Structure 1
Amino acid sequence: MVQENIKCPNCGGNRYEYINLKTVKCLYCGTVFVIQSREEEYEEVERKKEADRFLAELGKDIKRTKTQNDLFGKQYQASQSEKRMAYFTLILIIIIIILQCLF
């Protein structure tokens, strides 16, 4: 049986005989190889497309998470003046408590 679209991967010949449904033997060099049907090729392409879509979504999720983490970190990061004000308030409260205990 000869089909033009099936070629031997070893010699490039297009004459072969079927061993089973998906395996053929080249009549020129004797190489046995597995052929893929168009449906299998389509399924393989679709699997690759689905994997690419998944990886693209995963990349977007990672980027979104990183951005949210950056925003969270910046949102709650106090400036130097805010830190000084917090320390001053804490010291003031401690002084007031000590003075109340003394009097």
Structure 2
Amino acid sequence: MSEMTVVAVAVAAPAKPFACHGEPHPGKPCTAKLTQAEAWVPKLARIKKAIGRWPTLAKDLADHIYCGRCAAFARKAGVPFYRYPQTVVEMERRRVERTQAARQAFHRYL
């Protein structure tokens, strides 16, 4: 049964120049790109923890960060992912909070 599945995937592959299956291929970034709104961004803290366990994980994510199938592969490896727009909004919110805190601290000393 599994052999038949592999054959079906191999037949479907010629439609794309490079079919990504979650494994890294040196020099060939993932071509299964999603739209920016659908892209996934990994939590950096979890990647740093995972690098100690699995040194190739950072390279895998660098090549395949925008691929939904590869994101699923990384989630199986224990790396949680954020949706791209939510991550950007959260980063902007934190930047504004830091700026406001710095301004308040500065005004206290005037």
Higher relative contact order (CA 8 A, sep 6+): 2
TM interval, shorter chain, is 0.3 to 0.5
In terms of fraction of residues, the more strand-rich structure is 1
Length-normalised TM-score, structure 2: 0.35
Give the TM-score normalised by structure 1.
0.36
